[in-house]
A = this chain, B = another copy of it.
């Protein structure tokens, strides 16, 4: 198999997309009566792909990679995201398919994007992705990968869909926050808010824990 030539992705054109022609996202106008009885409106962006069975758009996999001889770490993915024309740093994530549970989607997507089998350790309640603007929602599924002495540092083979180009980086948990800050300073890179907030919360507890009695 010949490895495809890689080049920097580039936006060739953008145009206003009429709602009636959009396949993946849509705009809705919501008319509502507020707390005082006043009639108001709100503009909402939605995904058109939500699986009815789960009632949730997506899962993100907060992951811990354990190895007998290495520091506990996490895998983040770096990929070109056309909405931002930049490479984002995120935890692996994906949309939930029809008939799938959040757990199933997490294990499947983690295997596809990262290559490891994982164990689910917790599933969060439903969270609102960007509540001022959209009804997109997600669950954070925490997963663990237990490697053995024999497992090297090389990551297993990914099973990506056509058009997916996902770089994986293993980062020790104690270095995660600092690495995210450094990536943010890099050219054409932006960290996803959910991952950044988790890392910031972890760092806050580690650094300010004594001061604030955490």
Contact indicator A138/B193 (Cβ below 8 Å) = yes
Contact indicator B43/A23 (Cβ below 8 Å) = yes
Would you give the shortest CB distance from A36 to chain B, in whole angstroms?
Answer: 4
Q: Is A158 an interface residue (CB 8 A)?
A: no
Q: Is A159 an interface residue (CB 8 A)?
A: no
Q: Report, as a range, how many residues of chain A touch the other chain.
A: 35 or more
> Which residues of B are found within 8 Å of A202, using beta-carbon distances?
201-202, 204-205, 214
Partner among B7, B34, B137, B203 whose Cβ is within 8 Å of the Cβ of A80: B34
> Which residues of B are found within 8 Å of A127, using beta-carbon distances?
184, 190-193, 196-197
Given A44-B82, A64-B212, A14 and B28 touching (CB < 8 A)? yes
> Which residues of B are found within 8 Å of A86, using beta-carbon distances?
128
Given A20-B16, A36-B5, A83 and B44 touching (CB < 8 A)? yes
Contact indicator A191/B9 (Cβ below 8 Å) = no
Interface string of A108-146 (1 = CB under 8 A from B): 000000000000000011111111111111101000000
Chain A residues packing against B (C-beta within 8 Å): 4-20, 22-40, 42-47, 58, 62, 64, 71-72, 80-86, 88, 90, 93, 124-138, 140, 163, 165, 173-174, 180-181, 184-185, 190-206, 209, 211-214
